[in-house]
Amino acid sequence: MSTKLDPITQAVRIQTPRSEQGEHSTPLFLTSSFVFDNAESMRAAFAEESDANIYSRFSNPNVDEFTAKMVALEGAEAGFSTASGMSAVFGSIMALLSSGDHLICSSSIFGNTHTVITKHLPRFGITYTFVPAGDAAAWEAAVQPNTKMVYLETPTNPQLEILDLEWVGKFTKKHSLIFNVDNCFATPVLQTPIDFGADIVIHSATKWIDGQGRVLGGSIVGRADLIREIYLFCRVTGPSLSAFNAWVLSKSLETLDVRMQRHCENAYKAAETLQSHPNVSLVKYPFLKGHPQYDIAKKQMKGGGGVFCLEVKGGVEAGRKFLNALQMLSVTANLGDTRSIASHPASTTHSKLTDAERAAVGITPGLIRISVGLEKVEDIIADISQALDKSAL
Ligand SMILES: *Cc1c(COP(=O)(O)O)cnc(C)c1O
């Protein structure tokens, strides 16, 4: 495959070599292992003198096709695909950090990632410091002699905070730190962190990359030397992506660019329209003028993404009433689907926190996260509007 083709084209055209059947669409390679003609070819594969497949925990044609597309889309040197987004988070950290190392993380971060960093990394002697986005002095003050990695996501889930990738890229270069970015909310068609100095980019492919709410998956791409360490760690610890899920995800990448264009269009239109609803006190979307980091979002993203947040007046109770009044939108714990989804962090994912604790991580009582789907935007807006009408206390 010519590397001169645009990454979007490569996401459509990269394909495992055809079999003698001449199939147009890649078949599914449901096989745990691969056979060798003789002892010598098996020895050569194990010695990495050939790139023959050995065992599907190490590599598989469907997984390799998906990985090659992710590498092309992110402009990376190499990659490894994982069973879920969380195994990409965990694998990319654990393969590269050791006991005694220190990690800097932006304070607004996906809940399960927060748990990995605060509850599990310390069990292995890895310490961490959370720093607020945009506070340059705090970032400088957080650097210790044993700091090895900076980890962040942008836009963040669910607060939609935007971190300045160019600034962090310079910061990590100056301090010789590994720069690891969770690019899940933007997807590579809207944002490519490697252009700003990221060394590793990870994804929950479960979200926009699948885009149809079917399978779990994860992706890690980046600098070849770091990916080599991650590959060696993951192939023995076992978070490999299944061939079936890779087959689904590789097909999904063929439509990622067109899907994201429509998701962004719909999200912008819905966010802009709903700003003026009387029961809404705030709407947050990276490409809406009022967003606190609007300029940074415009600088580093090609579109604002498919998620916006709104704050219903009346706090937790109004948020619950809003969810109950929805007629079309799904109330479910996922995002990045063709179907629009609403969630209310204060009464679900973050219900165990006090108001003060929630406020510290940017989750206000009436915060609703909307993942905007591919339905006609007028229908999406109408359903949210009528539910907002009924959310008044
Ligand atoms: C969902 C999510 C993850 C975890 O991905 P899974 O595929 O559910 O394991 C990681 N980061 C972000 C930003 C997410 O939204």
What pTM was estimated for this model as a whole?
0.96
**Residue 3: which pLDDT band, with cuts at 50, 70 and 90?**
low
Please name the CATH architecture into which domain 7-253 falls.
3-Layer(aba) Sandwich (3.40)
Q: What is the CA radius of gyration of the chain?
A: 22
Q: What is the pLDDT of residue 141?
A: 98
Homologous superfamily of 256-391: Aspartate Aminotransferase, domain 1 (3.90.1150.10)
Residue in the structure block whose two tokens are 């009433």: 321
Q: Which residue type does 347 have? A: S
User: 7-253 with 256-391: one CATH topology?
Assistant: no
Q: What is the pLDDT of residue 4?
A: 86
For residue 349, report the distance from its CA to the centre of ligand 1, in Å.
13
For residue 85, report the distance from its CA to the centre of ligand 1, in Å.
5
Among 32-41, 56-65, 249-258, 359-368, which stretch is predicted with the lowest mean pLDDT? 359-368
Helix (H, G, I), strand (E, B) or coil at 283: strand
Pairing of strands 200-204, 178-182: parallel
Q: What is the pLDDT of residue 1?
A: 52
Q: Measuring CA to CA, how many Å separate 365 from each of 4, 111, 114?
A: 49, 17, 20
Quick check: CB of 204 below 6 Å from ligand 1?
Answer: yes
Among 47-51, 95-99, 265-269, which stretch is predicted with the lowest mean pLDDT? 47-51
- pLDDT of 215 over the 60 cut: yes
The residue whose CA is least distant from atom 1 of ligand 1 is 204
User: Residue by residue, what is the 3-state secondary structure of 213-231?
Assistant: CCCCCEEEEECHHHHHHHH
The pLDDT of 213-240, averaged and rounded, is: 98
Q: What is the pLDDT of residue 187?
A: 98
The residue whose CA is least distant from atom 7 of ligand 1 is 85
Q: What is the pLDDT of residue 2?
A: 53
pLDDT one-digit tens code per residue, 352-362 = 777 787 887 78
What residue ranges do the domains of the chain occupy? 7-253, 256-391
